[in-house]
Amino acid sequence: MIELKQITKQYAGQTVPAVKQLSLSIPKGEICVLVGPSGCGKSTILRMMNRMIEPTSGTVTINGEDVTSTDSDQLRMGIGYVIQQIGLLPHRTIAENIAIVPRLYKWPKEKIAKRVDELIVMMGLDLEKTRGKYPCELSGGQMQRVGVARAMAVDPPIMLMDEPFGAVDPIARTHLQDQLLRLQKEIKKTIVFVTHDINEAIKMGDKIAILNAGKLVQFGTPEEILTNPINSFVENFIGHDRVVKKLNLYRVDEAMQPVGCLVRETELQTASQNMKQAGTEVAFVINEKGKAIGHFTLEEFEAYKGDVERVRKKALRREKAFVQTTASLPDALSVLLEFDSDYLGILKGDELCGMLTFKDIRTHVYRKEGW
Amino acid sequence: MTWENFRVALFEKAPQALFEHSLIVVVTITIAILISVPLGVLLTRPKFNRFGLVILNILNVLQAIPGLAMIALALPILGLGIKPAVLALLFQSLLPIVRNTMAGLVGVSPDVKEAARGMGMSPRRLLLEVEIPLAMPIILSGIRTATVYVVSIGTLAALIGAGGLGNLIIGGLALFRPEYLLVGAGLGAFMAIVLERGLCYLEYKITPPGMRV
């Protein structure tokens, strides 16, 4: 656990302190995101944790131990550090770059080589191709992967990441974020993550600390912050699409309802009776292999006056109106809006396991908002 | 011009002169490196960087003094021979190396230094493993400049009895023997070019493959 107590940082020659009387405790094994506008002091706070910057007053403790009690180099060797500019040594190969901290710990050569290979593979890079390359031969996204691998080399319990994915293109960023989240499930490090992007904060954070002008404005889980922004600053910082952003926190399977009615492709004539019996407005069509291929509503069925072929065509036009149970609500919403329908089929693998309507999304968010 | 004079100059006088000249150059440049590189390093450390401007200005002044004047000034203090010549040439060769050492170190990307420090490298390790290797091409290019300079100004050392290729040139002028002049000046030029090219190659070799342009 990292604990900041009454931290103040006053830079020489500046009238306003960069960080004012800030206290924060970061729980073990979680990702805590420090987020705020430029100049809010988030990087300064991060850098005080590994003593790249010394606070003017206040204490930083890690697992109850004051960071100033150890030699600053020793302290930093034990904390992973990733920065936006990455800072790979341009005159060293990728393998040598990853080996920097293990070498500082004087690990034996074989152990270092083994660990380096392990990390290159773990970061999803091509082992043989990457190991001997120089940083300038990699793309931005690959370089940042190496940056993360380097920070994890000696498996430090704490990682400090200062806008780590800020300089890579949006696609690579999404990949890196997903990869880090996947890794975190296994490695369970205490990660302090600085960003100015609220969406990244919501995605990455177990906890989010919103900062402004050197002060902590709100600290809580993404859900807490999106549900109850403490003041207008937080509300503005999150943006007017607060509730839409909140959809990101939920998965389709939390909001879905059971499928109303299933009909075989060959038995469409009896569909309306089946639907009425089941008391539902919608029927999903399955083919002879049992795979869901579309849906139609009772209203449409009746409008076509039982013309089975037209009903089938209508249903087939919604062949892609399905999402997986693991999809996020915004993705589901997007698919819903794409098709001229109020319904969306939910698949688990290939199997139809539920359906989702606009109303389901609304009631789910409404319930979570707690009004 | 006679072939005989040419032969004497090239095969009897030149080897000795060339040896003396090389000695002056090697000794001067070695001492210059031993002083300038640490000085350049020191002047870029936070503790001492306020002296940087003063020292660079002093070296600039030393550099501005014409080589001949410098050699003449060294004479009354250290007398005749190789010692005053080396001292005079030394003053003139410090500036390019100190300046390039500083420029090279200052030019190391702050991001790289930040990352290295953030991983727990001590200032000493940072200097030896990161800053100096990255600044090396620029430091070497300073050494190259200084070397070429010392080879050419070194011909003046003959005036205070230090010998070298200058002996052939001055002798040639005094005796009206253009053969001596040609051999002295030609070998001087040749030596400067060879050293220049050689150091250039070294510069290329020590530039890490990842940083070559």
Q: In chain A, positions 136-165, which contact chain B (CB-CB < 8 Å)?
A: 136-137, 147, 150-151, 160
pLDDT-derived band at B80 (thresholds 50, 70, 90) equals confident
For residues B106-110, average pLDDT: 94
Q: Do B120 and A86 touch (CB under 8 A)?
A: no
Total structural domains within chain B: 1
The listed CATH number (3.10.580.10, 2.60.120.260, 3.30.930.10, 3.30.70.100) that belongs to domain A252-369: 3.10.580.10
Q: Do A87 and B109 touch (CB under 8 A)?
A: yes
Nearest chain A Cα to B131, which residue? Answer: A89
* Minimum-distance CB partner of A76 among B118, B134, B208: B118
Q: Give A88's contacts in chain B (Cβ within 8 Å).
A: 112, 115
Q: What range defines the domain where residue B24 resides?
A: 3-208
The total number of residues written for chain A in this structure: 371
A122-148 burial: b if 16+ Cβ within 10 Å, else e:
bbebeeeebbebbbeebeebbbbbbbb
Handedness of CA A41, A42, A44, A45 (dihedral sign): positive
Q: What is the DSSP code (8-state) at residue B154?
A: G
Residue A221: how many CB atoms within 10 A of its CB?
15
Q: What is the DSSP code (8-state) at residue A287?
A: -
Residue A42 has a pLDDT of 94
Q: Give A74's contacts in chain B (Cβ within 8 Å).
A: 120
Which of A322, A327, A270, A328 lies closest to A295 in space, CA to CA? A322
**DSSP string computed for A26-67:** E-TTSEEEEE-STTSSHHHHHHHHTTSS--SEEEEEETTEEG
Residue A115 has a pLDDT of 95
For residues B195-205, average pLDDT: 92
Burial grade of B176 (CB within 10 A; 0-12, 13-18, 19 or more): exposed
The residue written with tokens 């206290």 in the block is A23
Residues A88 and B115 sit within 8 Å (Cβ to Cβ)? yes
Assign residue A110 a region: left if phi > 0, alpha if psi is -120 to 50, beta otherwise? alpha
**Minimal Cα–Cα distance from B181 to chain A, Å?**
47
Per-residue tens of pLDDT for chain A, all 371 residues = 899 999 999 999 888 999 999 999 999 999 999 999 998 999 999 999 999 999 999 999 999 999 988 899 999 999 999 999 999 999 999 999 999 999 999 999 999 999 999 999 988 899 999 999 999 999 988 999 999 999 999 999 999 999 999 888 888 899 899 999 999 999 999 999 999 999 999 999 999 999 999 999 999 999 899 988 999 999 999 988 888 888 888 889 888 998 888 888 888 888 888 888 888 889 999 888 888 889 998 888 888 887 888 888 888 889 889 999 888 888 899 999 888 788 999 998 888 889 999 999 888 887 776 65
Specify the CATH number for the domain of residue B69. Answer: 1.10.3720.10
Distance CA A227, CA A230 (A): 9
* Minimum-distance CB partner of A104 among B113, B121, B210: B121
Strand ranges of the sheet holding A282-286, from the earlier edge strand across to the other edge: A262-264, A282-286, A292-297
Strand A19-26 relative to strand A2-9: parallel, antiparallel, unpaired?
A: antiparallel
Q: Give tens-digit pLDDT for B120-146.
A: 999 999 999 999 999 999 999 999 999
- B181 alpha carbon, distance to own chain's centre: 24
Q: Give A149's contacts in chain B (Cβ within 8 Å).
A: none
Q: Do A85 and B115 touch (CB under 8 A)?
A: yes
Residue ranges of the domains in chain A?
A: 2-249, 252-369
Give yes or no for B111 touching A (CB within 8 A): yes
Domain A252-369 in the same topology as domain A2-249: no
Give yes or no for A89 touching B (CB within 8 A): yes
Q: Do B112 and A92 touch (CB under 8 A)?
A: no
Residue B65 has a pLDDT of 87
Quote the mean pLDDT of chain B. 89
Nearest chain B Cα to A135, which residue? Answer: B210
- Could you tell me how many CB contacts below 8 A there are between chain A and chain B? 79
Residue A370 has a pLDDT of 60
Give yes or no for A81 touching B (CB within 8 A): yes
Q: Do B210 and A137 touch (CB under 8 A)?
A: yes
Q: Give B119's contacts in chain A (Cβ within 8 Å).
A: 76-77, 81, 100-101, 104, 150-151
Residue B213 is assigned to a structural domain of this protein: no
Does the pLDDT of residue B213 top 80, yes or no?
Answer: no
* Minimum-distance CB partner of A87 among B112, B120, B133: B112
Does the pLDDT of residue B211 top 80, yes or no?
Answer: no
* Minimum-distance CB partner of A134 among B114, B119, B209: B209
Q: Give B134's contacts in chain A (Cβ within 8 Å).
A: 89-91
Q: Give A76's contacts in chain B (Cβ within 8 Å).
A: 117-120
For residues B91-110, average pLDDT: 93
- Specify the higher pLDDT residue, B159 or B196: B196
The residue written with tokens 């292999």 in the block is A289
Q: What is the CATH number of domain A2-249?
A: 3.40.50.300
